[in-house]
Amino acid sequence: MTDILLNKRLDEIMKKNFLTILSLLTAGIVQGQNIVSIPTTGQNYILTRTFRDTVRIAQLAAQRTIGKENQTIQYFDGLGREVQRVQLMASPTYKDIVQHIEYDGFGRENTKYLPYAEQSGNGSFRSAAKTTQADFYKVGGGWDLTVMKTGNPYAVAVFESSPLNRVQQQGAPGTAWQPAADRNTVPSGANAGRTVATEYGTNGVNDVRLWTINSTNNGAAATYYTAGRLYKTVLKDENWINKNGTGLPPSKEGTVEEFKDFEDRVVLKRIWETESKALNTYYVYDDFGDLRYVLPPGFTGTTFSETVSGDFFELIYAYKYDARKRVVRKKIPGKGWEYYVYNNNDQIVFTRDAEQLARGEWSFTKYDAQGRVILTGIEKGHTGDDQSSLQSSLSSFTGPLWEQRGSAMEGYTNNTIPQNIGNITVQAVNYYDNYTSIPGLPFTDHSTYSIRTQSLLVANKVLVLDSSPAKWLWTVNDYDDQGRIVKVSSTNHLDGTDIVTNEYNFSDQLVKSTRVHTPSTGTAVTLSTGNDYDHQGRLVQVRKKVNSQTEIIQSKLGYNEIGQLTTKSLHSENGGGNFMTSIAYAYNERGWQTKASSAQFTSLLNYNVNGTTVLANAQYNGNIAQQLWGYAATTNSTFNYSYDALNRLKNGVSTGTVMSEAMTYDDMGNIRTLVRDNGTAITYGYNNSNKSNRLNTLSGGLTGSFTYDQNGNATKDRTGMLLSYNQLNLPKTVSGGGKTISYTYDALGTKLSRTSDVGGIKTQRDYIGGIEYSKTGTGSPVIERIGIEDGFLLNSSGAYSYYYNLTDHLGNVRVVLKKGGTSTVPTAAVMQKQDYYPFGKTKSIATSIDNKYLYNGKEMQADLNGGTHTLGSTYTLEGQLDYGARFYDAEIGRWNVVDPLAEKMRRHSPFNYAFDNPIRFIDPDGRVPIVPIILIIGYLTTSQPAVAPTRDLAGDAAKIQQAYDSYNTSIVTNSLPGGQQSQPVSKVLYQAVKKEVVKKVSTEVKKTFQTYFKDALDPKKDGKYSGRTSGTNTPEKNIAKRDKNHHMNETHGPAYLDKTSTNSDAIRGREQVNITNSGGAISGGGTSGNRINSISPHNKKLEKYMQEALKLK
């Protein structure tokens, strides 16, 4: 069978002293140069061959070209430890990229080296890798001048002198971040010793409050923990210095303290704002170990009750559980209670918030037999708080727990609760596995596509909210045999259709996407995008074609030898011979962006130094200390930023273009005062005598007052505009000042249209996956704008002109360019220039185009808050920006509704923007602040070790996935925000970044192993169960993931942690010890909850496992 075509993965092939693993993962443009692969035969190694095209077994030994295959060689020492990793010919000029790895005398990788590019490519072991790496990064030397040079191209960890091997100092690449002999003696202003320091200890007397649930189970009161009862970890980031001076106790300002009990539960996170003021976040547990309350820094009392305390409603997180330890009620600060009802599969069937309670409705979800969501909607007809009765009905329900295809309800059966069709409004339906028996399916021809659709989503429909008669928006997916979506057919609310066809290369990268947008009347628009990749799968070129217009190269990307993005050229009409403009990027030794420069706009970012001069306000932890910018290749304006010990922006002051903002905050991070341009201070007054996150009044430089509904949504804003909201807490209507504005959404929250009536003049804007229609009066909607990755297209009687956005590191649109000139002599006409205050208020310089996509690339709702805007002038009384999940008011620097994901950031106000650090963070969709994606590109492509506690790669991966999958927004490509960009092509560069994130997480985040227990619900009948698991998450999350749908859940309670370790053998032995201690396996006549032993008594490694288990602490 030597002629078998390999489609995904070949079996492992054993050689004399190496293993070749054949995998098919990445892809690129086929290159003609032959692969030169000469692994060093005197070394132990694993060779991984990654194919980008088909290969037959008989041809495995044949010469292959770079465009057909990638190779990685991992070299190991005699102890089986990896000592070098070589990516064969992986640089843009086909040189090897080498990662040097070394260990200290205790086997720890205490120094992690940045990768470097060799000057040749053959895959051999480089015995002088450490020296060559130093030469590559040598100041004034090296063979790639676009790579930042440093005498310290590595990150050093300092461990404590104990068997625990705990890190005391963690450095990073660069001279400033190398460990000091004593971190506590680093003087103020020193551009050295700036490591992350960690100290360990226990709590002191009257140090940490012990919160106890009261006798009525509706509040808690505090005493103090006895000294020594909690583990204490103190973290000092790179900005921390000992302000007390040498020889004195270390200062507390800027430190973070975490206290855990003996069950490894966090009970307190304390952050020191000053030497004498700490912000405390307490976690309160009940006797069953369930988290009942979280008390953020704004709450400073020693007792509270759910029924009588105003502080409880305004500030405290609360949770209630049923007998199965499921959350049945939850309260977010400033919002009423939320309710949850479950079926006997522990799936959430009903949810409601405080506003739904008032309306007498529940949101419901139905599932299929595989646990997939198939139906969601609203059930009305409920009275009062009927959660208990609903839960009782579901708990006693003896019918099926899932639906299957049928005819009773939208193509499904109606066997599960809720069943009263008369009270139900279905709002979204998902169809899986096949296209048969789907009622009303608008696209029915799937004959040329794969029939292997089992487990895949083949179609869904979503209701347009408040539509009458009901209008459904369909999406139908067609797949190839690899499960890739090759065609997406959809309908829209204007009765048109969109057909998107996708083409992929061998390793699943999107190479072409064509969208045909057909209006209900009129001519179709065809938008085609092609993506080209280099031999390592790096995106190097994006091509665009609109209708019959000439195809252009929209962007061309260049990289340095270690894979950092260094150039981006925009718009070529002659095959890349000439471009309209180009942007050059640069990074510092930490991989943080320092430059984005073009002939029309330049932005320089400084952290700790400006050139070689240490800044007076130097920042070492990723905060930006200084931004220089100008509307040319040079800079003539400078913003200087200062921060408090909590990394909140205190002020931003500029020279050249004069702008300034200065802020003070309360303990929750709500702005208390804001002074702009040295004018009259705006004073913020909050509910509950300023012990609340809900803004009540503005006075001084800006005046106004607010009111809220029970979900914490502002129903009256600072200008007196009245707002109403839909079930998703998105603005539905806005009225006041002679204006009426209304929004239409689908049931998933995608904005479909915006209508405005100002003084009798009616306008409407419709949004269809990045295509925007405009309509005035009784006229017909006309396509006005189409969003593309680097800007937008404007329609003029069917001819589309290209406009490009030049942005800063936050994705703020600073310049809009229109392509002019000829194909060989292209010119860039500047159509808009825009400056911003730190929190996003605009300061227009020049505009001859009505572009509303501004701060963070989000759409300005100019007429909200009474704002106005005309061409050539600035905004007056800034409008609000639509981020997708929420609207943001840059005039006052805060959101007007509660963060939907507030629980992920409990220390912060649910209304504050970007952790009060808008120079470093953005919020892609209004839910979770993240570091802008361009910084992540710089960080990842330098392969910086994931060792700096100021970075959380796993968290970044999750947040990027969450934020960018939800709204398909890319800061790098400047595509449209919100739910207004649905084309697969908009995700291309994001997917490349995401792949790098996943790669870094998989290689740098270490897997840990755990043992756990599950106590019997009936100890007289069953014994304690012992198990083990593993993962790259926290030990608790690893166990929680294993415990979900555990086979012992019917007879045993929730799993809880026993031991955790990085030693899998020790954990395996520990599991057997636990089984033995619990009475032995049932198969051997024992009384534990385990039927069999985890290790057979005849296992030859039994003694080894037991010895390793004894070493566990």
Number of domains making up the chain: 5
Residue 872 resides in a domain: yes
**Which string of b and e fits 630-666 if b means at least 16 CB within 10 Å?**
bbeeebebbbbbebbbbbbbeebbbeeeebbbbbbbb
Residue 750 resides in a domain: yes
Answer whether 672's CB lies under 8 Å from 684's CB.
yes
- Range with the poorest average pLDDT among 172-186, 359-373, 726-740, 1057-1071: 1057-1071
Q: Is the pLDDT of residue 376 over 70?
A: yes
Q: Is the pLDDT of residue 998 over 60?
A: no
Q: Which of 669, 670, 671 is nearest to 661 (CA)?
A: 671
CA angle 652, 658, 664 (to 5 degrees): 30
Same domain, 998 and 1012: no
Element (H, E) at 1071: helix 1064-1077
Same domain, 240 and 112: no
Q: Is the pLDDT of residue 246 over 90?
A: no
C-beta atoms surrounding 161 within 10 Å: 7
Same domain, 682 and 805: yes
> What is the predicted pLDDT for the residue at 682?
99
Q: 1014-1044: per-residue pLDDT in tens?
A: 988 888 788 899 999 988 777 887 888 888 7
The number of angstroms, rounded, from the C-alpha of 477 to the middle of its chain's C-alpha atoms is 26
Q: Which of 296, 814, 765, 751 is nearest to 603 (CA)?
A: 814
Q: Which of 394, 360, 401 is nearest to 379 (CA)?
A: 360
Q: 56-93: per-residue pLDDT in tens?
A: 999 988 999 998 999 999 999 999 999 999 999 999 99
Q: Is the pLDDT of residue 983 over 60?
A: no
Answer whether 1033's CB lies under 8 Å from 1041's CB.
yes
The domain boundary, picked from 269, 303, 337, lies at 303
Which residue blocks in 809-952 are alpha helix, DSSP H? 933-941
| Region of residue 494 (left: phi > 0; alpha: psi -120 to 50; beta: else) | alpha
DSSP label at residue 122 = S
The domain boundary, picked from 1004, 1035, 1057, lies at 1004
Determine how β-strand 116-117 pairs with β-strand 154-159: unpaired
Report which of residues 934 and 425 the model is more confident about: 425
CA end-to-end span of the chain, whole Å? 53
Alpha-carbon gap, residue 117 to 174, rounded angstroms: 18
> What is the predicted pLDDT for the residue at 933?
59
The tokens 């003996």 sit on which residue? 262
DSSP label at residue 1084 = G
Same domain, 384 and 436: yes
Same domain, 540 and 444: no
- Identify the sign of the CA torsion 353, 357, 359, 363: positive
Answer whether 1091's CB lies under 8 Å from 1026's CB.
no
CA angle 418, 420, 422 (to 5 degrees): 135
Answer whether 482's CB lies under 8 Å from 508's CB.
yes
CA angle 162, 168, 171 (to 5 degrees): 135
The number of angstroms, rounded, from the C-alpha of 831 to the middle of its chain's C-alpha atoms is 33
Same domain, 398 and 344: yes
> What is the predicted pLDDT for the residue at 847?
81
Residue 588 resides in a domain: yes
Same domain, 1040 and 993: no
Residue 517 resides in a domain: no
* CATH number of domain containing 795: 2.180.10.10
Answer whether 132's CB lies under 8 Å from 116's CB.
yes
Alpha-carbon gap, residue 672 to 521, rounded angstroms: 53
Residue 1046 resides in a domain: yes
Domain range for 403 is: 327-489
Element (H, E) at 993: helix 988-1004
- Range with the poorest average pLDDT among 651-655, 669-673, 935-939: 935-939
Q: 24-47: per-residue pLDDT in tens?
A: 333 333 346 899 999 999 999 999
Cis peptide before 977 (omega within 30 of 0): no
Answer whether 335's CB lies under 8 Å from 905's CB.
no
Alpha-carbon gap, residue 35 to 88, rounded angstroms: 8
Same domain, 1089 and 1101: yes
Same domain, 46 and 97: yes
DSSP label at residue 143 = S
- What is each CA distance from 536 to 563, 565, 576, in whole angstroms? 10, 14, 21
Q: 765: Cβ–Cβ under 8 A, 6 or more apart, which residues?
A: 753, 754, 755, 772, 773, 774, 775
Answer whether 907's CB lies under 8 Å from 333's CB.
no
Q: Which phi and psi angles does 936 have, rounded to 5°?
A: -65, -40
> What is the predicted pLDDT for the residue at 739?
92
> What is the predicted pLDDT for the residue at 1087?
86
Q: Which phi and psi angles does 775 have, rounded to 5°?
A: -150, 135
Q: 313-357: per-residue pLDDT in tens?
A: 999 999 999 999 999 999 999 999 999 999 999 999 999 999 999
Q: 762: Cβ–Cβ under 8 A, 6 or more apart, which residues?
A: 755, 756, 776, 777
- What is each CA distance from 855 to 110, 923, 999, in whole angstroms? 42, 11, 31
The structure tokens listed for 766 are 């419709």
Same domain, 210 and 341: no
What mean pLDDT value characterizes the chain? 89
Residue 875 resides in a domain: yes
CA angle 880, 886, 888 (to 5 degrees): 30
Q: Which long-range contacts (CB under 8 A, 24 or more apart) does 287-291 make?
A: 287/213, 288/321, 288/325, 289/263, 289/265, 289/1056, 290/319, 290/321, 290/325, 291/319
Q: Which of 350, 342, 306 is nearest to 326 (CA)?
A: 342
The domain boundary, picked from 88, 111, 136, lies at 136
Average pLDDT over residues 812-837: 95
pTM: 0.84
The number of angstroms, rounded, from the C-alpha of 643 to the middle of its chain's C-alpha atoms is 24
Q: Which long-range contacts (CB under 8 A, 24 or more apart) does 734-738 make?
A: 734/864, 736/866, 737/866
Q: Is the pLDDT of residue 398 over 50?
A: yes
- Range with the poorest average pLDDT among 431-445, 876-890, 933-947: 933-947
Residue 792 resides in a domain: yes
Alpha-carbon gap, residue 548 to 786, rounded angstroms: 16
Report which of residues 639 and 249 the model is more confident about: 639
Same domain, 695 and 749: yes
What is the DSSP annotation of 496-538? Answer: -EEEEEEEE-TTS-EEEEEEEEE-SSS--EEEEEEEEE-TTS-
The amino acid present at 190, given as its one-letter code, is: A
Residue 182 resides in a domain: no
Alpha-carbon gap, residue 555 to 791, rounded angstroms: 11
In three-state secondary structure terms, 815 is strand
- Strand segments, DSSP code E, in 780-856 are 782-788, 791-796, 799-807, 813-821, 826-836, 842-847
The structure tokens listed for 367 are 């599932």
Alpha-carbon gap, residue 917 to 839, rounded angstroms: 9
Answer whether 375's CB lies under 8 Å from 409's CB.
yes
> What is the predicted pLDDT for the residue at 1054?
85
**Which string of b and e fits 64-103 if b means at least 16 CB within 10 Å?**
bebbbbbbbbbbbeeeeebbbbbbbbbbbebbbbbbbbbe
Q: Which of 786, 920, 932, 912 is nearest to 853 (CA)?
A: 786
Element (H, E) at 992: helix 988-1004
HSE of 477 in the Cβ direction (CA atoms, 13 Å)?
A: 21
Q: Is the pLDDT of residue 834 over 50?
A: yes
Q: Is the pLDDT of residue 7 over 80?
A: no
What is the DSSP annotation of 570-623? Answer: EEESSTTSS-SEEEEEEE-TTS-EEEEE-SS-EEEEESSEETTEEPTT---SS-
Element (H, E) at 83: strand 82-87
> What is the predicted pLDDT for the residue at 8?
30
Same domain, 259 and 390: no
Q: 577-635: per-residue pLDDT in tens?
A: 999 999 999 999 999 999 999 999 999 999 999 999 999 999 999 999 999 999 999 99
